[in-house]
Amino acid sequence: MNPVRILVVDDSVVIRKLLSETLSGDRALEVVATASDGRIALAKIPLLKPDLITLDIEMPVMNGLETLAAVRKLYPKLPVIMFSTLTEHGAAATLDALSLGASDYATKPSNTGNPAVAIERIRAELIPKIKALCGVAPLKLLPLPGSRPVTKPRVRSNARIDIVAIGTSTGGPNALAEVLPRIANDFPVPIVVVQHMPPIFTRLLAERLASRSNIPVEEGSAGTILESGHAWIAPGNFHMTVIRAGTAARLNLNQGPTENSCRPAVDVLFRSVAAAFAANVLAVVMTGMGADGVLGSQQIRDAGGEVIIQDEASSVVWGMPGLVHASGLSDAAYPLDQLAPEITRRVLRSRGSHSRLDMKTYAASESSAK
């Protein structure tokens, strides 16, 4: 198989050199050219025909967002990974880029004066994303070690759903922007979410989702009592869990060891809702790279809860939902545009009430599920 051809676009000579040497050090990858601004990059694309672009956000002449918009217009299928700083401005610009069609993002090493640390960060964070987006060594969708593949349909518990837990990663911000704004403001249960993102990014993501949604969306904080019709996003660098507090349930945060190389981790959240709510859980695993969420989905299923996933065609990367499916832990798979109606349908059906939710949306979800 030919190596992935990469165009590196960054105004920093140091970063261009660092990325070129580190990425080309992997035999599956080849940096075919670099560019110091967007205008130069756009001129090189038709000549070099790269398989993927890494794109800086802040550049002279033509910045990353302007360049991305032009790339998407001319090359709508070309994968683009934004390379952004771990700052408030960098996080906001990255979310703008994702909404404009960037495939994914990676954060720049905070201290490029330490080459060894910077190289390791690129190897750990950027290279796996490049390979996932370009189909290099595609994930073998075999059951995860430790999971127990299901060989026959289980008997449904038909328990009332009292909480919805969502896990997502690569492609997740846009997927959440499709799902949460379509949840009605009198949704009868709370929603808890893990999106793999660093600090600052998760707060800004929650704020953006809140501005577009009928329900309140916030970054989770320790001690918060869960309320119906409200969603919480796990904060970057913290695991978020749900624990019982008498008749109520509340959020807890911790900085325990990473799981699946992630903090927050979907498995941590899913385990906690299984322990706190047993069969009264609906879990949703959406687009994402890696295996986070598989073992947590198994615990939810073992407790009698339901697990649904985003389908392969609508996922940016079908790693997380694909492994849940391969392990036999998914009750059903749905395209992204059907997830919100399906979540609503399952919650209302389990609770025996249609409340005041949008009946057109409910009827459409019933029709599409048949």
Residues noted as catalytic: 169, 196, 292
Quick check: 132 and 291 in contact, CB under 8 A?
A: no
Pairing of strands 80-84, 104-107: parallel
User: Under a CB-based contact definition with an 8 Å cutoff, are residues 165 and 309 in contact?
Assistant: no
Within a 10 A sphere around the Cβ of 349, how many other Cβ atoms?
A: 17
What is the sign, positive or negative, of the torsion defined by CA atoms of 248, 251, 257, 261? positive
Chain-centroid distance of CA 4 in Å reads 23
Which alpha helices (H) appear in 64-114, and where do they start and end?
64-74, 88-99
Q: Which two tokens stand for residue 214?
A: 């009928």
- Listed as own residue / partner, the contacts of 351-359 with beta carbons closer than 8 Å and 24 or more positions apart are 351/160, 351/161, 351/188, 353/188, 355/186, 355/188, 356/184, 356/186, 357/184, 357/186, 357/187, 358/184
- Give the pair of three-digit tokens for residue 348: 């209302």
Task: Please confirm whether the linkage preceding 264 is cis (ω < 30° from 0).
Answer: yes
Bridge-partner residues for 243, per DSSP? 250
Contact criterion met (CB below 8 Å) for 335 and 274: no
63, 89 contact by CB (below 8 A): no
Q: Give the separation between CA 159 and CA 261, rounded to whole angstroms.
A: 33
Helix (H, G, I), strand (E, B) or coil at 53: strand
Tokens of 186: 């009198």
Residue carrying the six token digits 């981790």? 265
Structural contact between residues 37 and 84, judged by C-beta atoms closer than 8 angstroms: no
